[in-house]
Structure 1
Amino acid sequence: MTVDPHVLARARARVLGVVSADASAPVPSGLTGASDGTRVWLLPQWPDGATPALLEEYDTAPMPLDRPGQQRRVLAAALRCCWTNLDDAPWPGGEAPVIDVLEVYAGMSRGGADLARRWATGELRRLSDTGWLLLDETAGTVRPGPRVALWREESLASLRDLLRRLPQPVREDAPHE
């Protein structure tokens, strides 16, 4: 039995989430590719006008989050650190130290900073699992994930305004001038 490679690629993307391939690999129909030059991430492509209810019906919610408020704040903190030139597109963005993201998040949170950092670490992992961020725990860095590449330019104005209001990362171990 042979399986159409395009059908197989769509099934993999649905089961495994965001998968990457070599940038020279063709992007199957029904998927869209988000490339950073060396890799291409395959993401489901939905017709314009697909409502959240329709996506939910197909088990492909656009932002599958367990704790949406907290995860959105962690995503915003990561973007604050990784998307340094807000006039540019957020994808592919740049790498930022995870510790900077944790500090920005702790600055946005109420309560104990240590608890906020622990919560944010778990949320970074979940956001990485769903393709919103690319987390390299070994290197201690994070950057925007391929799902960010799907944001339309006309939808970014309010996000840019929000990120401008977030605090800059300031670490206690940073050298003081």
Structure 2
Amino acid sequence: MSVEPEVLARARSRVLGTPSIPASEPVPAGLTAATEVDGSRVWLLPSWPDGATPALLEEYQTAPMPLDRPGQARRVLAAALRCCWSRLDDAPWPGERAPLAAVLEVYVGMSRGDSELARRWATGELRRLADTGWLLLDHDTGTVRPGPRVAMWPEESLSSLRDLLRRLPQPPEAPGE
């Protein structure tokens, strides 16, 4: 039985997540590369066939962002982008590092109810977003930045996202600013 390389690459990315490889290695067929900030590594993302809408991918159970609570995840992603994408006229990738605490505060500012509960929920969603390549978490430094999936957003889709982010609460100022 022979499997097309593109199909195999998409299946691997669903199982393994969003791997990164040295920039010197070739990008396998069926994947698209998002270059790391310093150019030393590339993140491998599945290339979906032209015309593959989110609804079509869902129908074939290959949704590119499998999340338990997609509404919650979108709000946490928006809070992270609000903190990491400070120059909205630029592209969101690679973005800037932001303290996890700042992202959680922006999220709490968007929420109603118990702020400690909101922080716990958001922390779980941050992990899931990192697992699916939407964010990059650095637990050692307590920071987050946009993940490689953000690099794949087409420029024409960013204007409404920019408008949304401008309406979100401001991130708290870092000490010393």
Q: TM (normalized to structure 1)? A: 0.89
Q: Match for 2:126: what amino acid?
A: L
Q: CA deviation at 1:112?
A: 1.5
Give the aligned partner of residue 119 of structure 1.
121
Count of residues in correspondence between the two structures: 173
Task: Work out which of the residue numbers 122, 129, 132 in structure 2 matches 1:130.
Answer: 132
Please tell me the residue identity of whatever aligns with 2:129: L
* Alignment partners' CA distance in 2, 1:18 and 1:57: 22
Distance in 2 separating the partners of 1:67 and 1:4: 32
What is the percent sequence identity of the aligned residues? 77
Aligned match of 1:92 in 84, 91, 94?
94
Secondary structure at the aligned position of 2:144 is classed as strand
Please identify, of 104-113 and 14-23, the stretch whose mean Cα deviation from structure 2 is larger: 14-23
* C-alpha displacement of 1:43: 0.8
Shift in CA distance, 63/11, structure 1 to aligned 2, threshold 3 Å: closer
Q: Residues 21 and 116 of structure 1: is their aligned pair in 2 closer, same or farther, counting only changes over 3 Å? A: same
Corresponding residue number in structure 1 for 2:143: 141
Distance 1:12 1:164, change over 3 A: same
Aligned partners of 1:155, 1:81: CA distance in 2, in Å? 19
1:167 to 159, 166, 169: 169
- Residue number in structure 2 paired with 1:73: 75
Q: Distance in 1 between the 2:12 and 2:28 partners?
A: 12
Residue aligned with 2:79, SS: helix
Return the alpha-carbon distance in structure 2 between the equivalents of residues 29 and 23 of structure 1: 15
2:61 aligned partner, one-letter code: D
Tell me if structure 1 keeps the 8 A contact 2:57–2:64. Answer: yes
Distance 1:108 1:67 in 2: 16
Gaps of 5+ in 2: none
- Match for 1:105: what amino acid? Y
Equivalences for 1:6-155 in 2 at 5 Å?
Answer: 9-36=9-36, 37-155=39-157
Deviation of 1:11 after TM superposition, in Å, equals 4.4
What is the DSSP-based 3-state SS (H/G/I as helix, E as strand, rest coil) of the residue aligned with 1:118?
Answer: helix
Q: Deviations for 1:56-111, whole angstroms, at most 9, x for unmatched residues?
A: 24432132211011110000000000001001100111110000000000000001
C-alpha distance in structure 1 between counterparts of 2:11 and 2:113, whole Å: 43
The answer on whether the counterparts of 2:9 and 2:30 sit within 8 Å (CA) in structure 1 is no
